[in-house]
A and B are shown apart, each in its own frame.
Chain A
Amino acid sequence: MKSTRMTALLAVIVTSLLAVFASSVSSAATTKTTTISVVSLIPGSTPEAIAQFNNQVAAFEKANPSIKVKPIEYQWTGPTFAAKLAAGTLPTVFEVPFTDARSLGDNGQLADLTAEIKQLPYYSKYNKAVLAEGTTAKGKIIALPKGAYAMALHYNRKLFTAAGLDPNKPPTTWAQVQSYARLITQKTGKAGYAQMGKDDNSAGWVFTTLVYSLGGRMETGRGTTAKATLNNAKAVTALSMLKKMRWTDNTMGSNFDMGWSDINQAFAAGNVGMYINGSDVYTNLVSASNIDPSIYGLAPIPLAKNKTAGVLGGGTLVAVRPDANAAARAAAVKWIDFYYERPLVDKAQAIRNAKTLVAGKQPVGVPALPLFNKAQYDLANTWIKPYINVPLAQMKPFNTGIFNQQVIAEPAASTQSVYKTLDGPVQAVLTDKNANVQQLLDQANSTAQAQISAGK
């Protein structure tokens, strides 16, 4: 493995040297070279994935001889972001979750890319709701989408079979989720249904998904005047349901402090029957947890039969650091266009991208939400069809079901604080048999309201 990495590294060095050489020969007199640093992959990625990324960089530099790209391993986390921003050590181009982008933009912590982005040929075709995630209250565009997902129900087909359930018929109501979970726990001893319970906001995030699916909302309005509704009737129902699954049915396993990565790992290891996470999580299950593809099943979240019931959507945006100058901004948008956006709208680029992913043993065809419109999304999927290497048949319930579901954005005001506040009640219900659901949510609501009003 080491030698592949070395070769890849050598290849990159040689190509980039050539690129520099070529650019200095061809355009030395006319243009100056702009260097930008870009976020590459999360730390701990496989050597194949890193080589794959470096190939993309080489291709980009070849196409844009006046731009030099320096890849930096970086994972967005709240605390390090604030520090890196203040310290000026952010890469020029980095990724931000939907959850934070608008708040950061409103605070002037992301560069204004409106002018550059409006020149992109496909600008007008963006899904308005998705683009809005990267637009500030004053209408400045501060980020472009990398990808969007809807929350989904991931299930273990092997455990379904062992419990005598049909792995091609995932549950479509919450009552079914509960009874299936009971069957799985009875027959296999594993957690029938598990849910993130870590107080790093993930517990609140998944709980919000649950409440949305029943038709509830966590707040109304935007900004500091928004009203918190964490103790709505649907939230009470959802939390009571969790309490029942935990204490009466006892189908949620014995560890309740799992975060995003922990629960993925537990699922990939075959210890979880069903759990909720973003629809694009399969990539992580492959790259970090070596999941056996045959056990994987993906279904839409069961929605209650009412008008407000919907599925929580989210995603990742690509943004630029606020102190980038005009040349760096232009170069950054070119990179975003090349690496993130083109594969979705340009056939040749899409195929090239899929090829490098396959060569790097990375999943191609992971279910996502359209960034433009469904027609464009389907079209792009037909381009890359020969390269799709995920178990598409096992994802069919989701891929057919999701487009009948209403996708609802995350709570707009003080998003992270609302999630954080909700972590408490979820943890309380999972770890205290006598937890008082209504009281917990009432308390959380007043805390969240204070945070919203303070703009935190």
Chain B
Amino acid sequence: MATVDPIDVHWTDSEPAVLSGREYRRARRTPLTWVRGGGLATLLFLLPMLFVFGAFSWYPIVRTVIMSVQHTNLVSPATWVGLDNFRAVLNDPVLPKAVENTAEFAGLALIFGYPVPLVAAVLMSEARRFRGVYSALAYLPVVIPPVVAVLLWKTFYDASPTGVFNTILGWVHLGPYPWLQSQQTALPSLVLESTWANAGGTVIIYLAALTGVNRELYEAASVDGASLWRKVWHITIPQLRGVLLLTMILQIIGTAQVFLEPYLFTSGGPANATVTVLLMIYNYAFGNSLGGDYGSATALSLMLAAFLALFSLLYLRLTRSWSSK
């Protein structure tokens, strides 16, 4: 199956380079030959990237590590505090709740948003008519700006009996439900909207991957008289395993950094029922009018990043045998 290991992303350098070719590398190197050989031009081409990445990617990554062991709020000069920030974050009574909510969000998002797109994609790829309509409809919610989607769904979630969802459910004598107004239903409500907003992208990825499934396998199975379910289970899913495994880890990494939904729907409420790790980071850094606690914010982001790195590594390890079967 052609695709899909991010670690495999690399440049083949077997072919000869064009302008700063090997002959220049072998020749005696002086600044002049370097310039003549296109070294300066190459550097000029690299300059925008070096500047932008240096300033807005590499430097901030290093700064995060430094800031996490400092007390800094932009007002008074930064002071070294060792691991105090990490300790403060770990002792924050909100942290367990935030971790629990984030995990629950990621878990629910997997339950809602993982199998449904797969089933939809399999059905759609076999459609003999309107295939474009199917995928366009599925993808439409993804195009809506996320902020608009959340604000629209906030209206749907109006908890009064005349709210949009409560009216619709009222037709079949259900509800009214409190949606965002209850500690029990708030988080699932956020996941529901998030699934609506993102599932279309997953469907399209599966659709693309399904085109790579070898037709001959299906035909051979048909000849053997295999049932539809057996074909899906024994051919389609195994052939998609690479994509399936990667969309899963990517979705987990994405939902572990969920911010927009809890921020705009509930700002973490009611009573911390929807506070997430990223919302905590935001509140540390930007939630206080007397200056941000950037130390705690960076300490928590580092811990989250470390956790995700470990988790991904473990995940790749555990799934390696299956995905390379």
Residues of A with Cβ closer than 8 Å to B? 77-79, 81-83, 85-86, 100, 103-104, 107, 109, 197-200, 253-257, 416-417, 423-425, 427-428, 430-432, 443, 447, 456
Contact = CB atoms under 8 A, between A and B. Distances in A.
B75 interface: yes
Contacts of B181: 254-257, 430-431
B236 interface: no
Contacts of B163: 254
Give the one of B93, B180, B273, B288 with max A CB within 10 A: B288
B42 interface: no
B269 interface: yes
B270 A427 contact: yes
Interface in B23-66: none
Contact of A198 (B74, B158, B269, B272): B269
B75 A199 contact: no
A78 B288 contact: yes
Nearest to A271: B160
A434 to B, nearest CB: 10
Contact of A431 (B74, B273, B289): B273
Interface in B275-301: 286-293
A199 B180 contact: no
Interface of B: 73-75, 93, 158-161, 163, 176, 178, 180-183, 186, 266-273, 286-293
A100 B289 contact: yes
A416 B289 contact: yes
Contacts of B273: 431
Given A79-B289, A424-B272, 10 more contacts: A79-B287, A82-B289, A198-B269, A199-B269, A254-B176, A257-B180, A257-B270, A424-B271, A432-B270, A432-B271
A82 B290 contact: yes
A49 to B, nearest CB: 26
A82 B270 contact: no
A453 B183 CA distance: 30
Nearest to A81: B289
A423 B180 CA distance: 16
Contact of A254 (B178, B287, B289): B178
B156 to A, nearest CB: 13
B270 to A, nearest CB: 4
A417 B74 CA distance: 20
A107 B269 CA distance: 31
B267 A200 contact: yes
A427 B178 contact: no
B159 A199 contact: no
B266 A257 contact: yes
Given A107-B75, A431-B178, A431-B183, A416 B271 contact: no
Contacts of A423: 269
Given A257-B266, A431-B181, A82 B176 contact: no
Given A254-B181, A255-B158, A257-B180, A428 B289 contact: no
A85 B74 CA distance: 9
Contacts of A109: 75
Nearest to B93: A447
Contacts of B161: 254
A427 B268 CA distance: 11
A155 to B, nearest CB: 20
B271 A427 contact: yes
A256 to B, nearest CB: 5
A363 B160 CA distance: 33
Given A257-B180, A431-B182, A78 B287 contact: yes
Contact of B270 (A103, A200, A256): A256
B228 to A, nearest CB: 47
Contacts of A256: 181, 270
B74 A82 contact: yes
B262 to A, nearest CB: 11
22 contacts: A78-B287, A78-B289, A81-B289, A82-B73, A82-B290, A82-B291, A100-B290, A107-B291, A199-B267, A254-B161, A254-B181, A255-B159, A416-B288, A416-B289, A416-B290, A423-B269, A427-B270, A428-B183, A430-B270, A431-B181, A431-B186, A431-B269
A101 B176 CA distance: 44
Contacts of B267: 198-200
Contacts of A199: 267-269
Contacts of A79: 286-289, 292
A82 B269 contact: no
Contacts of B293: 456
Contacts of B272: 424
Nearest to B182: A431
A211 to B, nearest CB: 18
Given A198-B267, A198-B269, A424-B272, A456 B178 contact: no
Contacts of A104: 290
A82 B73 CA distance: 9
9 tightest A-B CB contacts, nearest first: A78-B289, A428-B271, A431-B270, A86-B74, A427-B270, A254-B159, A79-B286, A427-B271, A254-B160
A430 B75 CA distance: 38
Nearest to A417: B288
Given A78-B287, A103-B290, A447-B93, A427 B269 contact: yes
Tell which of B158, B181, B183, B186 has the most Cβ of chain A within 10 Å: B181
B290 A107 contact: yes
Contacts of A86: 74-75, 291
A198 B266 CA distance: 8
A79 to B, nearest CB: 4
A81 B269 CA distance: 24
Nearest to B176: A254
A255 B271 CA distance: 14
Contacts of A417: 288
A185 to B, nearest CB: 12
Nearest to A191: B160
Contacts of B180: 257
Given A107-B75, A416-B288, A428-B183, A257 B160 contact: no
A257 B265 CA distance: 10
Contacts of B286: 79, 82-83
Contacts of A77: 289
